[in-house]
Amino acid sequence: MSHRVEILDAKTREKLCFLDKVEPHATIAEIKNLFTKTHPQWYPARQSLRLDPKGKSLKDEDVLQKLPVGTTATLYFRDLGAQISWVTVFLTEYAGPLFIYLLFYFRVPFIYGHKYDFTSSRHTVVHLACICHSFHYIKRLLETLFVHRFSHGTMPLRNIFKNCTYYWGFAAWMAYYINHPLYTPPSNLRSSAGETGARHLCGKEAGSATSPSTWPCGTCGPLVRSKTRKIPYPTKNPFTWLFLLVSCPNYTYEVGSWIGFAIMTQCLPVALFSLVGFTQMTIWAKGKHRSYLKEFRDYPPLRMPIIPFLL
């Protein structure tokens, strides 16, 4: 027996659409497509349909006949605003820092003064820092294009401005000081710390490039390799062994690489960027860790969200 679906505005309770003869096995995604035909300004990615005005959004794969509704289903609509694809977001976020840093590295005009235009630093650490920074964001761009799959197709357009301000702003701040003609590299007394930071950075970048981001459910956030929900476990790849101790090793490696970069350059903006990033990634890691504990009763009890045995 077919269903009737009425869609009301979640705020005003105004009736927006009435769909007659909707098949019982229709999914929320299909209902969104039907709703778009009558209201083309609200394409499916902008729509949030829910059973209660203040309830959670229904998933696209939810089937109508499996929802707690009668033959006439009432759904409440909220406009999520203009949307943009996650691929576009990530490419924009990561291409910006790569390009901005290189502008400072090559000392293009109007940055440091005319006499320094297109000059080169004599310090090895400056060139090494550029290589490491560029590699980090080139790796991220390639992962976005060829590795990651996204559990959510879009995000609100307004978020890209906030995200780009964060990534682009910090990239410019770091690059300005590291590539400045008056930049002072680690002294002889601190050179061992710089070398340690460089080795630490390379190791963490290798770990992040070869492990968690390609695992099913191995990342926190919108990136997933597969929609299959299962507990991630280490493989023969030694960089995945961190899964024995933490739920989100990709964040552990990410934080570790920036700490190494900060030690190598001994630049305050890098240290602040590392601190802010660590704070945000800890929040994401804790959220993913809680979802694992809730979903899997046999989840390994030894694991912590991001830092082994501590946090």
Could you report the per-residue pLDDT of 132-178, keeping only the tens digit for each? 999 999 999 999 898 876 666 788 888 899 999 999 999 999 999 99
Cβ-contact 289, 305 below 8 angstroms: yes
Identify the CATH number of the domain in which residue 59 sits: 3.10.20.90
300 occurs within a structural domain:
no
pLDDT band at 227 (very low <50, low <70, confident <90, very high): low
Q: Which pLDDT belongs to residue 275?
A: 96
Q: Is the Cα torsion angle 86, 89, 93, 96 positive or negative in sign?
A: positive
Q: Which of 166, 174, 90, 168 is nearest to 132 (CA)?
A: 174
- Which domain-ending residue is among 81, 113, 136? 81
113 and 261 co-located in one domain: yes
160 and 48 co-located in one domain: no
Range of the domain at 173: 84-295
64 and 138 co-located in one domain: no
For the chain, what is the domain count?
A: 2
Beta-bridged to residue 63, according to DSSP, are 27
Global confidence as pTM = 0.81
Rounded mean pLDDT of the chain? Answer: 85
Helices within the chain (DSSP H only): 28-38, 86-105, 124-146, 157-178, 191-210, 249-265, 268-295
Q: Is the pLDDT of residue 198 over 60?
A: no
Q: Is the pLDDT of residue 210 over 60?
A: no
Among the listed ranges 147-151, 181-185, 201-205, 273-277, which one has the minimum average pLDDT value?
201-205
DSSP letters spanning 56-98 = PPPPTT-BGGGSS--SEEEEEEEE--SEEEHHHHHHHHHHHHH
139 and 74 co-located in one domain: no
Beta-bridged to residue 74, according to DSSP, are 6
111 occurs within a structural domain:
yes
